[in-house]
Amino acid sequence: MLSTTARTRLGRSKERGSDDREDLYEVLDTGLICHLGVVTDGYPMVVPTAYGRVGDTLYLHGSTGARSLRAAAGAEVCMTVTHLDGIVLARSVFHHSANYRSAIVYGRARLVTDEEERMAALRALTEQLAPGQWEYARPPDRKELAATAVLALPLDEASVKIRRGAPSDEEDDYALPLWAGVLPLVTTWGEPVPDPALSDGIGIPVHIRNRK
């Protein structure tokens, strides 16, 4: 169960909220990019970035020179992930909406310094984007690790919001001769495009070819 705090308590559309931790995991584990909100140099910054989850810890990474990561280390941050599943087209413009799954995570980001945890975090980040790629590709060397900052964000304070289903129109509007419904949005992977510098005879690995 997700615990409710002043920051995660829903003010509107409470029926769309979920306190099921499994719903939080589903939103996070099926996403690819999150948005990290942090205050840097006195102003807010929202940065899209890759992430990965290990248990109840979310990991983010970037260059050690990135202002956003330097500001986030040890600070209160906000991280969001959103899946848009469809546009809800109602009979009135007012009741147009979207079907979606979203998660907001609040917490104090921790700079990861333990090397074993750093490697586990980078593995989770890589596998989030391309399952199977960590074992396939060359691992990071010492120079690359030194240039990479890894942040850990606990999943202690989070909220989940989900909308599914048809439009919700005013009762009088159901008689209008207007089409209403949902226009689903489906994201699919295309055909892999090889690097022009690829050596002859190197085929597409199975974990990339079979990505669904």
Find the mean pLDDT for residues 202-208: 95
Tell me the whole-structure pTM to 2 decimals.
0.92
Phi and psi at 48, nearest 5°, equal -75, 135
Q: Which two tokens stand for residue 132?
A: 């199977």
Please write the tens of the pLDDT for every residue from 126-136: 999 999 999 99
- The structural domains of the chain, with segments of one domain joined by +, span 14-170+177-209
User: DSSP E strands: which ranges in 13-156?
Assistant: 17-18, 33-40, 43-54, 57-63, 76-89, 97-108, 110-111, 148-154
| pLDDT for residue 6 | 87
Q: pLDDT-derived band of residue 201, with 50, 70 and 90 as boundaries? A: very high
Query: Residue 190 and residue 122: Cα distance in Å, rounded?
Result: 25
Domain 14-170+177-209 sits in CATH at 2.30.110.10
State the average pLDDT over residues 71-88.
96
Q: What is the pLDDT of residues 135-178, one digit of tens each?
A: 999 999 999 999 999 999 999 999 999 999 999 999 999 999 99
Across all residues in the chain, what is the average pLDDT?
94
